[in-house]
Amino acid sequence: MTTTSKNDQLFERAQKTTPGGVNSPVRAFRSVGGTPRFITRAEGPYFWDADGKRYIDYIGSWGPAIVGHAHPEVVKAVQQAATRGLSFGAPTEGEIEMAEEIVKLVPSLEQVRLVSSGTEATMSALRLARGATGRDKIVKFEGCYHGHADSLLVKAGSGLLTFGNPTSAGVPEDFVKHTLVLDYNNVQQIEEAFANFGQDIACVIVEPVAGNMNLIKATPAFLQALRDLCTKHGALLIFDEVMCGFRVALGGAQELYGIKPDLTALGKVIGGGLPVAAFGGSTRLMSNMSPVGAVYQAGTLSGNPVAVAAGMTTLKLIQQPGFYERLSATAKRLADGLTAAAREAGIPFCADAVGGMFGLYFSETPPNNYAEMMAGNRERFNVFFHAMLDEGVYFAPAAFEAGFVSAQHSDAVIDETIAAARRVFATL
């Protein structure tokens, strides 16, 4: 081993015992090339790698770190919960409080079931939709990622795009023959799908603000068409708000757009950095779930007391007055500042933000769907990414991912980022 970089050494060592050296594919930097940074600690808007270099972090653990890393109140709640025991496999009052809080905040929810990952949340919502309707077909949209359950791994976004393999190997054709994949933001296609298969469609699942093919906002007309068609044909509308829930607004995308889905999947922010996710809907629909109804779903660590403590504390912090106004202003300051810096350098670039989420595009206008997103200049993004990394700014290591700001990203931190980008754009 000739390298003196601790990151390089760790990466080499990791690859011996873990496929690709990582436990979730996009962390491996395959899209942008180079060595992934091994993180040793994080605080506020920053994290530090194994070589001791500090980065301004715009991933926030891919969404959860909305109040900033290692927030003292969240850490304290976790420490206190841990001293009372790590897991009981029996119900706790904390789980009731968490369910009450989520139901209070998300407009369409009357009941929720807690799980441990977004994948479990969407997978279970899908099973519920099929169980409740007695139908098999599901509709998803190209570039939307809903976790790695078999029937949803068709033309999905996020890490699958990095590998140019949007449909996973190992998923039998039989498992996905009921999955219809349509274009995002295309009203005509979904009308045609319902005209042809309306009787067979159990549900439509959508990221109402897509964050796994970079950031792409649904048009209000598209989401309204989904709502109307599902109602008309007796199908269920599932909003996958694992990423955009508690991110684009306190009540999620459904509050932002004023459209209520039948089922909602949540994750990321509600765990505050520990594994909590949830799915829910009306009491009537949720009564299909075991042990009340016939749709089975379970989890050894579901509603884990330590994870719930982190999640509940985070949910309290984000309800502080002005939280989302500040978060949105922060993301907008970043998007506007980067766009202006690129324009000064004559680089075709734009950026967009919704709440605490943002997208960076090496194109003249923000994309509206998967095909438009893929037309962006990825080579230029990769050069930009590495140059920013050298400057101490950590954006998502792929052009297909949204970015996130936290409440700890001050104006000074954003301005430092923009100043670094100005230097980088000048060299592109």
Residues 251-270 close enough to bind ligand PLP by CB under 6 A:
267
Whole-number minimum distance, CB 148 to ligand PLP, in Å? 7
Length of the chain: 428
Selected binder of ligand PLP within 95, 240, 352, 372 (CB under 6 A): 240
How crowded is residue 219: how many other Cβ atoms within 10 Å of its Cβ? Answer: 14
Whole-number minimum distance, CB 212 to ligand PLP, in Å? 5
Are 91 and 261 spatial neighbours (Cβ–Cβ below 8 Å)?
A: no
Selected catalytic residue, list 240, 257, 262, 394: 240
Selected binder of ligand PLP within 37, 146, 332, 333 (CB under 6 A): 146
Mask: binding to ligand PLP, 111-140, rule CB under 6 A, as x and -?
A: ------xxx--x------------------
Q: Rule CB under 6 A: say whether 401 interacts with ligand PLP.
A: no
How crowded is residue 173: how many other Cβ atoms within 10 Å of its Cβ? Answer: 6
Q: Rule CB under 6 A: say whether 357 interacts with ligand PLP.
A: no
Whole-number minimum distance, CB 83 to ligand PLP, in Å? 27
Are 370 and 181 spatial neighbours (Cβ–Cβ below 8 Å)?
A: no
Residues 60-79 close enough to bind ligand PLP by CB under 6 A:
62
CA distance 218 to 204: 14
Selected catalytic residue, list 145, 257, 324, 361: 145
User: Which residues does 334 contact at the CB level (< 8 Å), separation at least 6?
Assistant: 351, 353, 358, 405, 409, 414, 417, 418
Q: Binding segment for ligand PLP among 30-38, 85-93, 237-245, 373-381 (CB under 6 A)?
A: 237-245
Of the two residues 208 and 337, which places its CB atom closer to ligand PLP in the complex? 208
Q: Rule CB under 6 A: say whether 59 interacts with ligand PLP.
A: no
Of the two residues 118 and 305, which places its CB atom closer to ligand PLP in the complex? 118
Q: Rule CB under 6 A: say whether 142 interacts with ligand PLP.
A: no
User: Which residues does 48 contact at the CB level (< 8 Å), separation at least 6?
Assistant: 39, 40, 41, 42, 54, 55
Selected catalytic residue, list 268, 352, 370, 394: 268
Q: Rule CB under 6 A: say whether 409 interacts with ligand PLP.
A: no
Whole-number minimum distance, CB 402 to ligand PLP, in Å? 9
Cis check: omega of the bond before 36, within 30 degrees of 0: no
CA distance 145 to 118: 10
Q: Rule CB under 6 A: say whether 145 interacts with ligand PLP.
A: yes
Are 27 and 62 spatial neighbours (Cβ–Cβ below 8 Å)?
A: no
Q: Rule CB under 6 A: say whether 243 interacts with ligand PLP.
A: yes
Tokens of 298: 């379970």
CA distance 51 to 187: 50
- Mapped onto helix, strand or coil, the DSSP state of residue 55 is strand
Are 242 and 276 spatial neighbours (Cβ–Cβ below 8 Å)?
A: no
- C-alpha 277 chain-centroid distance: 12
Place of tokens 């104006």: 411
- Our answer to whether residue 150 is catalytic in this structure is no
Whole-number minimum distance, CB 266 to ligand PLP, in Å? 9
Selected binder of ligand PLP within 74, 230, 242, 278 (CB under 6 A): 242
Catalytic residue ranges: 145, 240, 268
Footprint on this chain of ligand PLP (rule: CB under 6 A): 62, 117-119, 122, 145-147, 158, 207, 211-212, 240, 242-243, 267, 277
